[in-house]
Amino acid sequence: MPRRHWATAGLALGITMSVIDGTIGTAALPTIGRALNVPPSDIIWATNAYQLAVTVSLLPLAALGEIVGYRRIYLSGLVLFTLASLGCAMADSFGWLVAGRAAQGFGAAGLMSVNSALIRFIQPRARLARGLGLNAMVVSTAAAAGPTVAGLILGVADWPWIFAVNVPLGILALVLGLRALPQTPRGGHRFDWVSALLSASTFGLLILGLDSLAHGGAGLTSVLTIAAGLGAGAWLVRRQTGRPRPLLPLDLLGIPVFALSIGTSICSFMAQALAFSGLPFLLQTGFGFSVFHAGLLTTPWFLATAVAAPLSGRLMDRFPAGLLGGVGLVLMAAGLGLLALLPAHPQAADIVWRMALCGFGFGLFQTPNNRTMVGAAPPERAGGASGMLATARLLGQTTGAALVGLVLGWMPGMPIAGPTTALTLACAMATLGAVISMLRLRARGRDGG
C-alpha cells in the first residue's frame, strides 16, 4: 500500500507538469513576445513547438513502451523533460526557446504516452476505476490551471521562472518514480520503425501546414504540406490494418464507444486550446489587464474544473458518460460564447462567472470521458489506449493553438476582434464535442454512455 501511494503521487506530479506546461507557456506568450521582441503570430510557436513534439511522438513511444517496459519510457521522458525545462529557463533568444520547448515536448510525450498504462499496474482491479478517475481529474485540473499559475509566477518573477520551477519538481518526481514505479511485462514483438515515421509525418505535416497558413505562407505550399500529411496518414492506416498490436490502435478505434470518446476529447481540447491561447491576448492587450490580474481572472476556470471533475466521477454511477459529457460541453460552449460577447470594457465580475461556467463544464465532461476511453480497451492494449488518449488531447490542443495563430495572423492589429474570433471558434468546437458525446448514448454498455 505505501509503495502504491508513492507511485501514484509520482505519476500525478509528472503528468501535472507535462500537461500544465502545455498551457502555462501559452498564458505567458504576450510577456515572452514583448521580452524577445517577437510578434504575436510568431510567438505562438513557443507553444506549437511543445505541442507538435508531443503529438508526433506519443503513439510511437506508447508502442515502444509495450516492448521495453512502461517504467523505462516514463523515467526517460521525465529526465529529458526536466533538463529541457532548465534549457528553456536559460534561453536568451527565441530560437533557443523554441528548441528547448520542442525537447520539453519529447520528454512530456514519454510521460503522457504510458501514464494511464502504468496505472493499470499500480492499482488493483477493484481500485482501477478510482485510479483512472483520479488521473482524469489531475489531467483536467492541470490543463485548466496553467494560466493561473503563469499569472501568479509572472506577478513576482520574470518569464524564465515558469520553466525553472519544473526542475526541482522534476527531480522529486524522478526520485518517487525510481523508488516506487513497478516493472511491467515486455512484449516479444519488434518495434515498427516505418509506422513510427509515418505516424510522426502524419501529425507533423498536418500541423506544419496549418501553421504555414497562419503565417501567411504560400497557399500552394501549405495545401501540399497538408495533403502530404493526409497521404502519410492513409499509408499508415493501410500498413497497420490487420496487425495484432498496431502502433496506430485501429483495433481500439473499431470499438464504437472508444472512437466516439476520442472524437469528443479532440473537440473539447481544441476548444480549450483556442480559449487559452486567445484569452491572454484579449485580457492583456485588448482589455488592458496586467499579466498578474489576467492570471487571477482565469483562476475560476481552474477552480471550477477542480470542483466538477470529482463530482462527475461520482455521477458516473448514476448517469451515462455520454450524457455527462454532452451536458458538460454544452455548459462549456455557453461560457465560451458569453466570453466572446464581453463588452469592450468589462468588469472583473463579468469575466469571472463566465470563466467558472467554462471550467465547470469542462470538468464535468473530462473525468467520465477519460475513464471510458481507458476502460473500453482490453488490459493487454493498455499502452495503445494510453497513447491514443494522450494523442487525442494533444492533437486537439495543437490544432487549437495553430488556429489561434491563424486567426491572429489574418487579423493583425485587432486586439479584441482577433481573440474574440478564436473564442467563437472554441464555442463551435465545444458544441460539436457535445453532439459527438451524446451519440455515445446509442452505443452499447453503460460505461460508454
Q: Which three cell numbers stand for residue 85?
A: 525545462
Q: What percent of the chain has pLDDT over 70?
A: 92
Among 220, 243, 266, the domain boundary falls at 243
> Does residue 195 share a domain with residue 81?
no
pLDDT per residue as tens digits for the range 124-167: 777 766 777 677 778 777 776 777 788 788 888 888 999 999 99
Q: How confident is the model at residue 1 (pLDDT cuts 50, 70, 90)?
A: low
**Using CA atoms, how far apart are residues 48 and 267, in angstroms rounded to an integer?**
18
- pLDDT tens for 161-201 read 999 999 999 999 999 999 888 887 776 678 888 888 998 89
Looking at 243, 266, 286, the residue that finishes a domain is: 243
Highest mean pLDDT among 242-256, 267-281, 408-422: 267-281
| 232 and 298 housed in the same domain | no
CATH number at residue 184: 1.20.1250.20
pLDDT tens digits, residue range 288-304? 888 778 878 888 988 88
* pLDDT of 52 higher than 90: no
Kindly report, residue by residue over 304-341, the tens digit of the pLDDT: 888 887 788 778 778 888 899 999 999 999 999 999 99
Shared-domain flag, residues 185 and 216: no
Domain that holds residue 228: 190-243
Q: Quote the number of domains for the chain.
A: 2
Q: What is the Cα 354 distance to its own chain's centre? A: 22
Is the model more confident about 116 or about 50? 50
Checking if the pLDDT of 394 tops 80, the result is no
The DSSP string of 213-236 is: HHTT--HHHHHHHHHHHHHHHHHH
Flag whether the pTM goes above 0.75.
Answer: yes
Give CA–CA dist 138/100, Å, rounded.
Answer: 25
